[in-house]
Chain A
Amino acid sequence: MATQTTETAAGACVDAGGSALGMPQLCADWMGNQVAWLVVSLIVIYLLLSRVALPRIGAVLAERSGTITNDIAAAEELKQKAVEAEAAYEKALADARVQAAAIVADAKAEIQADLDVELAKADAQIAAKVSESEKAIAEIRDGAVKSVTDVAKDTAKELVKAVGGNADAKTINAAIAARMKG
């Protein structure tokens, strides 16, 4: 065949036009090349991974899990602290409330005492003023009664004199006193 020479030139598995003859996978001429380069690639990948990449990534992952564990423990501790702080705060608040209530009660009692004292003082003053006033009123009344008696005696004396009678002062006084009583 005419194509026989070109086929040998291009290789046993490729025709003159550069197309595959059959499956290139089964071409024995190419297998050695693939196998050789595969072995080289695998060795390079294995060395890269086992010498450099895998220990490094393993260390990073271990370090990370350690960090995460530590962080979680720290967070747990902080949470515990926060709970404690909250309890302390609550307790302080309750104490302060109790204290405030006590202070309020004290102040109230004090004020009440002061108030009582002041009230008593005021009452006493008022009572004193009242008695004073009553005394004054009584004086005024007494004065008024005396004046009225005097006026009545004088008037009676003048009336008796005007009527033409002659009455002695003793009789008139007795009569006035008697009238004033009634």
Chain B
Amino acid sequence: MTHVATDAKSEGGLVFHPLDQFIVKPLFGDGPISWYTPTNVTLWMGIAVLVIALIFVVGSRGRAIVPSRLQSIGELIYGFIYKMVEDVTGKDGIKYFPYIMTLFVFILFANYLALLPMSYSPTSMIAVTAILGFGVFICVTILGFVLHGSKFLGLFWMSDAPAILRPIIAVIEVISYFVRPVSHSIRLAGNVMAGHAVIKVFAGFAALTLVSPVAIAGIVAIYGLEVLVAGIQAYVFTILTCVYLKDALHPAH
């Protein structure tokens, strides 16, 4: 890896460090990073928490029948996620709505705040999304066993399928079940990281006078794409969480 970095440096004018934006730095001083050190990750997660508090707590303070702008943003997100949980998991999934809402708003605001220049994107870090993804996976699996006991294993046993195929399908189902958290977390981190890295690569090309208009147009285009991706990935993560939750609540096919 050291080799690649020195190669990049030897090119002179055209230097790409598309991944430098993901480096975790301490906010104060530059000592070693232990788990409690306030870092740029802390800062941008904190900003996300503040924005969420602003929209959902300060915005709804008026409790107005005719909502203010901030209040209607909060109500819009509330209604969107509430309806999603209700539609996907059914009425008995409503009590998990606050958890799903927490996931959605965290990912949504972390994604969108990461699109600000000079910002840091916590959702591009595989450690963060792995905690989210595996957290959902573990909670949902435990919930499934608590609610249904061994009947939860019926999720893997297709009683409709021909008897010969059932064991094969069961193996495939088990594998796909355990791949879920991996794909769930890598999808989010991969999308966010790739978009940010591509913007940085275009920004590196913008240093060349000849191609800079194309590079800047490319940055604008990728940025527009990233605005879409930021929302869509938050949505996808949330709706998949709902789908997994539905499997735990109603394991029978």
Which of these, B5, B65, B75, contacts A67 with CB under 8 Å?
B65
Q: Which residues of B contact A18 (CB under 8 A)?
A: 20, 23
Residue of B with least CB distance to A60: B63
Q: Is the CB of B2 within 8 A of A21?
A: yes
For chain A, residues 45 to 90, give those with C-beta under 8 angstroms from any C-beta of chain B: 45-46, 48-50, 52-54, 56-61, 63-64, 67
Given contacts A46-B99, A60-B75, contact A41 B46 (CB under 8 A): yes
Q: Is the CB of A48 within 8 A of B52?
A: yes
Q: Which residues of B contact A38 (CB under 8 A)?
A: 45, 122, 127-128, 131-132
Q: Does B125 contact A (CB under 8 A)?
A: yes
Q: Is the CB of A15 within 8 A of B45?
A: no
The number of chain B residues with a CB under 8 A from chain A is 56
Q: Is the CB of A25 within 8 A of B65?
A: no
Q: Is the CB of A48 within 8 A of B56?
A: yes
Cα A113 to Cα B36 in complex, Å, equals: 115
Q: Is the CB of A25 within 8 A of B22?
A: yes
Which segment of B100-108, B154-162, B172-180 sits at the interface?
B100-108
Q: Is the CB of A22 within 8 A of B1?
A: yes
Which segment of A28-36, A115-123, A138-146, A169-177 sits at the interface?
A28-36
Q: Does B119 contact A (CB under 8 A)?
A: no
Q: Which residues of A contact B42 (CB under 8 A)?
A: 33, 37
Q: Which residues of A contact B39 (CB under 8 A)?
A: 30, 33, 37
The smallest beta-carbon distance between A47 and chain B, in angstroms, is: 9
Residue of B with least CB distance to A3: B2
The number of chain A residues with a CB under 8 A from chain B is 48
Q: Which residues of B contact A67 (CB under 8 A)?
A: 65
Q: Does B79 contact A (CB under 8 A)?
A: yes
Instruction: Mark contacts of B9-33 with chain A using CB atoms, 8 A cut-off: 1 yes-contact digit, 0 otherwise.
Output: 1000000010110111000000011
Cα A20 to Cα B196 in complex, Å, equals: 15
Q: Is the CB of A34 within 8 A of B41?
A: yes
Cα A18 to Cα B20 in complex, Å, equals: 8
Q: Is the CB of A49 within 8 A of B105?
A: yes
Cα A56 to Cα B53 in complex, Å, equals: 13
The smallest beta-carbon distance between A74 and chain B, in angstroms, is: 15
Cα A165 to Cα B138 in complex, Å, equals: 177
Q: Is the CB of B75 within 8 A of A17?
A: no
Q: Is the CB of A42 within 8 A of B78?
A: no
Query: Which residue among A15, A33, A63 has the maximum number of chain B CB atoms within 10 Å of its CB?
Result: A33
Q: Does A111 contact B (CB under 8 A)?
A: no
Q: Does B213 contact A (CB under 8 A)?
A: no
Q: Is the CB of B5 within 8 A of A15?
A: yes
For chain B, residues 191 to 221, give those with C-beta under 8 angstroms from any C-beta of chain A: 193
Cα A57 to Cα B78 in complex, Å, equals: 8
Cα A24 to Cα B1 in complex, Å, equals: 12
Given contacts A26-B126, A53-B56, A57-B75, contact A32 B34 (CB under 8 A): yes
Cα A60 to Cα B39 in complex, Å, equals: 38
Q: Which residues of B contact A34 (CB under 8 A)?
A: 24, 41, 122, 125, 127-128
Contact surface of B with A, Cβ cutoff 8 Å: 1-2, 5, 8-9, 17, 19-20, 22-24, 32-37, 39, 41-42, 45-46, 48-49, 52-53, 56-57, 60, 63-65, 67, 71, 74-75, 78-79, 97-99, 101-103, 105-106, 122, 124-128, 131-132, 189, 193
Contact surface of A with B, Cβ cutoff 8 Å: 3, 11, 13-15, 17-27, 29-42, 44-46, 48-50, 52-54, 56-61, 63-64, 67
A-B contacts, 14 listed (Cβ < 8 Å): A11-B33, A18-B23, A20-B23, A23-B19, A23-B22, A25-B127, A27-B24, A35-B35, A39-B131, A42-B106, A49-B52, A49-B98, A49-B105, A63-B63
- In the A-B complex, the 10 residue pairs with the smallest Cβ-Cβ separation, listed nearest first, are A53-B56, A32-B35, A24-B22, A31-B127, A50-B98, A30-B24, A41-B45, A22-B1, A36-B35, A46-B102
